[in-house]
């Protein structure tokens, strides 16, 4: 089992990713943390609790994270994810609560108690992780890697160059990419290829209560491409379980924090300024059909 800390801003594609992570026996979530992003942190926190309740996984601790980016003003993406962040399905009443300590303190506690360095997966902006790096530099050697949804080497989805998670908090992203912790960057280069066709989304509806829930969320999801809907965040969990699905290139990646290109991820593809150093494994390709088939196979496991 791979033990992970999972930092998220659910958000519909976050919710789909978490549904797989909570129910796949190969993944052991030691801590769930929320961050402001697709909707406010109050809403992303309650959405995490809704999902742990739905999947009867209330033993997984949830900690509330940052309410706003390090420096920028917070702007949500409710135009894509709805006002609640998880619209379209009536979740059971939540009876559990978030921890009384915040996300950064909870991450520090889990890392310091972990016998081995752990993977941190982030599918929202990286505000919590940047704060962890700043407040607990002594714990960096307890982090095996960051597996991040974010960035792009081939154009953005918020501006012509910036992807939403990086654009929301580029200052945090800069800290994370300079941390020295190995990074796997799963950005729009692959997530816009890993589409679920409308046919697949419809087919999911008949796969038990979990399938019904995911179908309703994915139907309400406002992100859409000509070939289907991109489940960006699901790729982080897919990468953990099936890294062989992804074509990876090693680069030095830097973050633009200001100006018209704010939020851009720049890789030194021509080795001009990084001196041959590498800070990230960047996912650059994926086979859509293989991804879609794998995705459908996850749903029956969720209903067990
Ligand atoms: C990312 O932005 C968010 O809206 C999604 O949840 C995903 O994490 C895609 O750019
Ligand atoms: Ca997200």
Single out the residue of 79, 83, 135 nearest to residue 109, CA to CA.
135
Q: What is the 3-state secondary structure (H, E, C) of 102-115?
A: CHHHHHHHHHHHCC
Single out the residue of 272, 277, 289, 268 nearest to residue 200, CA to CA.
289
Atom of ligand 1 nearest to the CA of 233: 8
Residues with CB under 6 A from ligand 1: 11, 13-14, 38, 77, 80, 123, 149, 157, 163-165, 232-233
Ligand 1 pocket mutation, candidates 10, 19, 34, 37, criterion most atoms within 8 A of CB: 37
Angle between helices 288-302 and 208-220 (to 10 degrees): 130
The pTM assigned to this predicted structure is 0.98
Q: How far is CA 159 from CA 131, 163, 193, 229, 233, in A?
A: 26, 7, 19, 19, 19
Atom of ligand 1 nearest to the CA of 11: 6
**pLDDT exceeds cutoff 90 at 126:** yes
Strands 253-255 and 246-251: unpaired
Q: Annotated catalytic, 232?
A: yes
More confident position, 303 or 131:
131
Model pLDDT, residue 1: 84
The mean pLDDT value of the chain amounts to 97
Model pLDDT, residue 75: 95
Ligand 2 center to 271 CA (angstroms)? 31
Atom of ligand 1 nearest to the CA of 80: 4
Atom of ligand 1 nearest to the CA of 9: 6
Q: How far is CA 227 from CA 192, 211, 286, in A?
A: 10, 21, 15
Ligand 1 pocket mutation, candidates 165, 173, 188, 195, criterion most atoms within 8 A of CB: 165
| Range 60-80 average pLDDT | 97
**Rounded distance between C-alpha atoms, residue 64 and residue 144, angstroms:** 23
Model pLDDT, residue 304: 80
Ligand nearest to the CA of 150: 1
| Range 184-194 average pLDDT | 97
172 contacts: CB under 8 Å, gap ≥ 6: 69, 70, 125, 126, 127, 129, 130, 131
Ligand 2 center to 121 CA (angstroms)? 11
| Range 111-132 average pLDDT | 98
Ligand 2 center to 9 CA (angstroms)? 5
**pLDDT exceeds cutoff 90 at 6:** yes
Model pLDDT, residue 232: 98
Atom of ligand 1 nearest to the CA of 124: 8
Ligand 2 center to 89 CA (angstroms)? 18
| Range 10-16 average pLDDT | 98
Model pLDDT, residue 51: 98
**Rounded distance between C-alpha atoms, residue 200 and residue 196, angstroms:** 6
| Range 35-50 average pLDDT | 98
* Nearest protein CA to atom 2 of ligand 1, as residue: 164
ipTM of predicted assembly, 2 dp: 0.99
Q: Name the catalytic one among 81, 136, 199, 232.
A: 232
Q: Are 11 and 82 in contact (CB under 8 A)?
A: no
**Distance from the Cα of residue 49 to its chain's centroid:** 16
Ligand 2 center to 113 CA (angstroms)? 27
- Dihedral sign (CA 13, 16, 22, 25): negative
Ligand nearest to the CA of 82: 1
Ligand 2 center to 50 CA (angstroms)? 16
What confidence tier does 188 reach under pLDDT thresholds 50, 70, 90? Answer: very high
| Range 239-268 average pLDDT | 98
């Amino acid at each position: 089992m791979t033990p992970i800390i999972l930092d998220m801003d659910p958000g519909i594609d976050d919710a789909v990713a978490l549904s797989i992570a909570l129910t796949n026996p190969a993944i052991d979530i030691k801590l769930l943390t929320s961050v402001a992003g697709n909707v406010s942190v109050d809403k992303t926190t309650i959405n995490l609790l809704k999902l742990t309740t739905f999947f009867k996984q209330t033993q997984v601790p949830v900690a509330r994270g940052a309410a706003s980016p390090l420096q920028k003003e917070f702007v949500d993406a409710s135009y894509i994810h709805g006002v609640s962040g998880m619209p379209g399905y009536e979740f059971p009443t939540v009876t559990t609560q978030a921890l009384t300590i915040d996300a950064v303190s909870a991450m520090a506690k889990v890392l310091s108690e972990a016998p081995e360095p752990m993977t941190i997966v982030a599918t929202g902006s990286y505000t919590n992780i940047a704060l962890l790096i700043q407040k607990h530099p002594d714990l960096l050697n307890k982090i095996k890697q960051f597996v991040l949804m974010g960035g792009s080497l081939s154009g953005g989805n918020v501006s012509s160059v910036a992807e939403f998670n990086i654009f929301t908090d580029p200052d945090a992203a800069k800290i994370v990419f300079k941390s020295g912790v190995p990074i796997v960057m799963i950005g729009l280069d692959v997530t816009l290829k890993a589409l679920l066709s409308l046919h697949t989304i419809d087919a999911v509806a008949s796969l038990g209560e979990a399938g019904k829930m995911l179908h309703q969320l994915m139907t309400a999801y406002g992100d859409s491409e000509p070939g289907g809907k991109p489940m960006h965040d699901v790729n982080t969990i897919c990468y953990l379980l099936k890294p062989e699905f992804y074509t990876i290139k090693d680069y030095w990646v830097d973050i633009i924090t200001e100006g018209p290109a704010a939020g851009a991820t720049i890789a030194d593809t021509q080795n001009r300024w990084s001196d041959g150093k590498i800070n990230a494994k960047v996912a650059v390709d994926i086979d859509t059909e293989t991804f879609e088939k794998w995705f459908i196979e996850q749903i029956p496991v969720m209903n067990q």
